[in-house]
Chain A
Amino acid sequence: EAQVTQNPRYLITVTGKKLTVTCSQNMNHEYMSWYRQDPGLGLRQIYYSMNVEVTDKGDVPEGYKVSRKEKRNFPLILESPSPNQTSLYFCASSFRAVNTEAFFGQGTRLTVV
């Protein structure tokens, strides 16, 4: 089944403890991205990747890192999480960057205390 898989689905952590949220797609998509969803703000892009080893900042990149060593994986790294990063995170992938359907993961609900 074609899909985008995120792990974990739920995570509670403490301020400053490094964490990684994984994202994997099995559709051979070139384009992948991360969003955070907050009430009243909709989805805001954190980082995106056009292809392997090509990444760029979205609208709210501060406090996040990403890597794209393989086409299928696009992990989101929080080196030192803070409470304002408490949010619902979505990974998405698409065949290319423009004018194609984006496929989303099920989301990761992160709470930083």
Chain B
Amino acid sequence: AQRVTQPEKLLSVFKGAPVELKCNYSYSGSPELFWYVQYSRQRLQLLLRHISRESIKGFTADLNKGETSFHLKKPFAQEEDSAMYYCALTSPQGGKLIFGQGTELSVKP
């Protein structure tokens, strides 16, 4: 079964520190992976997806098929990065966007 696991419920760092939000997945086939972000009192929005291989707001994520991971990284965290982050995967049938449990990132001044 397809599954996305985010092992950390809460990640707290200081401003300027590096950040890595972990995401592991189980999938049979070629996965389509995404990171969504939900800022306080706002709707979920796409942060980035693995096929585009772009950096958004300083965040990057590399798909590691050997380790079945898609960790989200940023070298220097900012206070405005504080939010809930969800890793997600599209199922092979295309009918589902499967989310992980989410990681709350708190960046302290």
Contact = CB atoms under 8 A, between A and B. Distances in A.
B97 A99 contact: no
A62 interface: no
Interface stretch (B13-21, B39-47, B61-69, B70-78): B39-47
Say which size band chain B's interface belongs to.
20 to 34
Interface string B1-31: 0000010010000000000000000000000
Interface in A14-71: 33, 35, 40-45, 48, 50, 56, 58-59
A104 B43 CA distance: 6
A105 interface: yes
Contacts, number: 57
A97 B32 contact: no
A105 B93 CA distance: 24
Listed residue (B9, B44, B102) with the most chain A CB atoms within 10 angstroms of its CB: B44
Contact of B9 (A40, A97, A98, A107): A40
Interface string B42-55: 11111001010000
A93 B86 CA distance: 17
Interface string A91-105: 010001111011011
A101 B46 CA distance: 7
Contacts of A35: 99
Given A42-B102, A45-B96, A58-B96, A99 B51 contact: yes
B90 A98 contact: yes
Contacts of A48: 95-96
B86 A42 contact: yes
In the A-B complex, the 8 residue pairs with the smallest Cβ-Cβ separation, listed nearest first, are A97-B94, A98-B94, A42-B101, A43-B99, A104-B44, A101-B46, A104-B43, A42-B99
